[in-house]
Amino acid sequence: MVGISHTDESPVPRPAAAAQSRVVLIPVINDDALCGAIGLISALDGPHLSAEEIEVVRQLAHDAGPILARLQEIDALRTKNRELTGVAQRAANVEASLAKTADERNQFDGLLKIGAHVQSNIAHELRTPLAAIRGYARMIIDGRTGEITDTQRDYLRIINENTNRLINMANWMTHLADLSSQQFSLGACDLLKIWDEALHKNREVLAGKSLKLTERISDQSFEIVADAEKLAYGFNQLIAAATKLSNSGSTITAEFSHGREQEVMVKISLSASGLPPEALNRVFDRSINSSVPAAAQDTDAMHMSLNAVHDIVGMHGGRMFVNSTPGQGSTLLFTLPAVTLGGEDKNNEQAVNISRR
């Protein structure tokens, strides 16, 4: 037995003999569950509580049990209701956010479609005057307007070659617009994992020419947002092109790094190969003649592989470069934006730069 006093500063149990009052606790029970207790307190030097008084309080406790249990249920329901209200509010916020995201996506898809149409129209408008320029330049070269000097003929040939280059670029713009309309499955992917899978798939192709492949990969992450399936196909085509360009027993070096704007840079260097100038000038030319001799079929197959890589890189907003120094080797380089991310003689080196920006 212990005594309870409201005057105590610390409610520490103490012997009943030290208490200044008597306490009778009557439990409040409902369905065999304790809901509370009623305490009757009387002074030690006062009269004792009578049995009738205790019985009256016991009856009150009996009647108060269901009421107190119901009040506790109501309080629990109020607490649950507040929780459900919070959940409903959060769900409404998520739904509103999803609706806003869907609306923004629809607008973005619309802009992409408009951009594709604009790109196709620009390509068409470019081809028409360029074709006229090329046609008249050829007629002058053929002498239909009279005799011309050798210097004039050289200048006209330069005009004709650069016009052809611009027409090919316009054709590429139309081709890229068609490719962009294809279904894209974008998601976070690890470029190194895709590269490793492509190497494993092409290990027999590399071994067939006794090619040695070395890798130089930085410690940075190469996770980007892209279409993993299309990038895997692009890597397979890149390895195929590098294999066709390399001499038997030579070395291929693959480098993965990041640029100044954190864009991913993939560089494939071939130690014993070099594209001849005429092949370099048409490396992304799609007008490949199917009736070529067998000796040229490998070169055309290489062009088709590089064209595939070129298109996939362009669809992801990247850029592609091809550099070749005859007798020294070739370099295949492309960049991909980090989404978390002209043929000109220079130092006896020819380069093709197909820009996406």
Per residue of the chain (357 residues), what is the pLDDT tens digit?
Answer: 344 455 556 666 655 555 566 788 888 888 888 888 888 888 777 787 888 888 888 888 888 888 888 888 899 999 999 999 999 999 999 988 888 888 887 777 666 666 666 666 777 778 778 888 888 888 898 888 888 898 998 999 899 888 888 887 777 777 666 655 556 677 888 999 999 999 999 988 888 888 899 999 988 888 888 888 889 999 999 998 888 888 888 899 999 999 888 889 999 998 876 566 566 666 666 544 433 343 444 566 777 788 888 888 887 888 888 887 766 788 889 998 876 543 333 333 333 333 333
Biggest distance spanned by C-alpha atoms of the chain: 142
Please spell the DSSP secondary structure of 256-275, one letter per residue: EEE-TTS-EEEEEEESS---
Q: Which pTM was predicted?
A: 0.49
How far apart CA 320 and CA 313 sit, in angstroms, is 7
Class of domain 187-354 (CATH, top level):
alpha beta
- pLDDT number for residue 14: 59
- pLDDT number for residue 35: 82
- Token pair of 298 as six digits: 């490998």
Query: Contacts from 30-36 at CB under 8 Å and sequence distance 24+?
Result: 30/65, 30/66, 30/68, 30/69, 31/69, 33/69, 35/65, 35/68, 35/69, 35/72, 36/68
- pLDDT number for residue 285: 63
- pLDDT number for residue 74: 92
Say what angle helices 228-245 and 294-315 make with each other, to 10 degrees: 150
- pLDDT number for residue 24: 83
Is 214 in a helix, a strand, or coil?
A: strand
- pLDDT number for residue 346: 36
User: What H or E segment, with its residue span, contains residue 43?
Assistant: strand 33-43
Amino acid identity at 192: L
- pLDDT number for residue 254: 93
Angle at alpha carbon of residue 65, lines to 59 and 70, rounded to 5°: 150
- pLDDT number for residue 290: 37
Angle at alpha carbon of residue 257, lines to 232 and 176, rounded to 5°: 45
- pLDDT number for residue 38: 86
- pLDDT number for residue 165: 81
Is 23 in a helix, a strand, or coil?
A: strand
Q: Do the Cβ atoms of 329 and 273 come closer than 8 Å? A: yes
- pLDDT number for residue 126: 80
